Amino acid sequence: MSSTPASPVMTGAAAGPAGPTPDKPAVRVRGLRKTFGPVVAVDSLDLTVAPGEVVAFLGPNGAGKSTTLDVVLGFTRPDAGTAAVLGVAPREAVRAGRVGAVLQADGLNPSFTVRQTLDIVASLQLHAPDVESVIARTGLGGLLRRKVSRCSGGEIQRVRLALALLAQPELLVLDEPTTGMDVTARRTFWERMDKLAETGKTIIFATHYLEEAQNFAQRIVLMRDGAIIADGTSEEIRDLTGYRHVSFLADAPLAFDDLPHQQVEITQENGKYRHRLNVSDAEDFVRLLLNTQVVSDLEIVKPSMDESFMLLTSDTESAASSATKES
């Protein structure tokens, strides 16, 4: 994330104002606009995150994800618009220890052990945290005597998570939290996050791993050019593309010059011809196909999450063509 301070640790009192309610969202952003010189990072953005929601931010580089999260964390002041976190100003929520963050930048002292790091940050809390519980929850028991400088990238991320949890925050903000982790460590990390989500914590995370967003988030916010272009479950995001993969067998190659499609791929299969194409209106296409042609083994499939991301964040025509080639 850009514009982040040296330390990813949110410290302060664990207690604070009354928690969010349905009429007091965990996060509410209205009309957010932020520019950096001539660059418009975020423009007229509205976002509401309900208490207990798990929300993933996806988008290409420069989409505005980091700037939006910076505003939520109180690191960046918007040029226009408003932001409230847990019913108060972002910086107030952070100072009260109600927000925890796992960020890319850190101020961890490499000469300290993991135990020393945890104890120092725990001592800064106005309400004594249950350090041992945090250690168990993040699986750091075997690393306590290890110096931070000797920890792997994945282990550092677990230390960051532990530090973020010391104040028992109501909201967790994670920026690419599994960076540096192998497949097994990533799976274990999200299993731990699942357990945290079950306690009712609100979790917002940015990731470039589409499968993480699809498998863990209840809701995906897809950004492009400083604006939200899609917001919903993974199934709803896939529906928004308007495209479907259509596949069928015919006795001879067919031409569809008058039908809406992107590109037709035809291959031979057991003496017949397999046709694959993307269509923007599958229902009308299939109706016309069945009324005018003799086909078999007809399949209609939604685009994958990867394809949906490409279709929604890239040039539609070229992305649809690429999706056809990959399907």
pLDDT at position 243 is: 84
- Backbone phi, then psi, for 200, in 5-degree steps? 95, 5
Q: Quick one: 93 and 50 in the same domain?
A: yes
Q: Quick one: 206 and 265 in the same domain?
A: no
pLDDT at position 15 is: 37
Number of domains in the chain: 2
Q: Quick one: 110 and 55 in the same domain?
A: yes
With respect to residue 5, please indicate whether it lies within any of the assigned structural domains: no
Q: What is the pTM of this model?
A: 0.78
Q: Quick one: 186 and 259 in the same domain?
A: no
Task: Give the tens place of pLDDT for each residue, 68-119.
Answer: 999 999 999 999 999 999 999 999 999 999 999 998 776 789 999 999 999 9
Give the residue from 178, 212, 238 where a domain finishes. Answer: 238
Task: Give the tens place of pLDDT for each residue, 213-224.
Answer: 999 999 999 999
* Residue 204: closest CA among 182, 231, 227, 186: 231
Sheet holding 219-224, edge to edge: 99-102, 171-175, 202-206, 54-58, 219-224, 227-232
pLDDT at position 310 is: 87
Which tokens hold the place of 138? 């993040």
Q: Quick one: 296 and 285 in the same domain?
A: yes
Average pLDDT, stretch 316-323? 46
Q: How far apart are CA 281 and CA 237, in angstroms?
A: 16
Q: Quick one: 87 and 175 in the same domain?
A: yes
Q: Quick one: 225 and 115 in the same domain?
A: yes
Q: Quick one: 125 and 225 in the same domain?
A: yes
Single-letter amino acid code for the residue at 62: G
**What value does the mean pLDDT of the chain take?**
86
Please check the confidence at residue 18 and state whether its pLDDT lies above 50.
Answer: no
Q: Quick one: 42 and 191 in the same domain?
A: yes
pLDDT at position 6 is: 35
With respect to residue 6, please indicate whether it lies within any of the assigned structural domains: no
With respect to residue 9, please indicate whether it lies within any of the assigned structural domains: no
Q: Quick one: 59 and 208 in the same domain?
A: yes
Which tokens hold the place of 233? 């479950």
Q: Which residue has the higher pLDDT, 89 or 307?
A: 89
CATH classification at residue 320:
3.30.70
Task: Give the tens place of pLDDT for each residue, 177-202.
Answer: 887 788 888 888 999 899 999 999 99
Question: What percentage of residues in the chain have a pLDDT greater than 90?
Answer: 56
Query: Could you tell me which residues are beta bridge partners of residue 97?
Result: none
Q: Which residue has the higher pLDDT, 153 or 51?
A: 51
Give the residue from 238, 273, 308 where a domain finishes. Answer: 238
pLDDT at position 127 is: 82
Q: How far apart are CA 67 and CA 267, in angstroms?
A: 46
Q: Which domain holds residue 301?
A: 241-326
Burial class (CB in 10 A: 0-12, 13-18, 19+), 183: exposed
pLDDT at position 252 is: 94
Task: Give the tens place of pLDDT for each residue, 35-56.
Answer: 999 999 999 999 999 999 999 9
With respect to residue 277, please indicate whether it lies within any of the assigned structural domains: yes
Give the residue from 222, 238, 254 where a domain finishes. Answer: 238
Residue pair 85/26 in contact (Cβ under 8 Å)? The answer is yes
Q: Quick one: 173 and 109 in the same domain?
A: yes
Task: Give the tens place of pLDDT for each residue, 225-267.
Answer: 999 999 999 999 988 888 889 999 999 998 877 655 457 899 9
pLDDT at position 98 is: 94
Angstrom distances, CA of residue 316 to CA of 106, 284, 320? 38, 20, 6
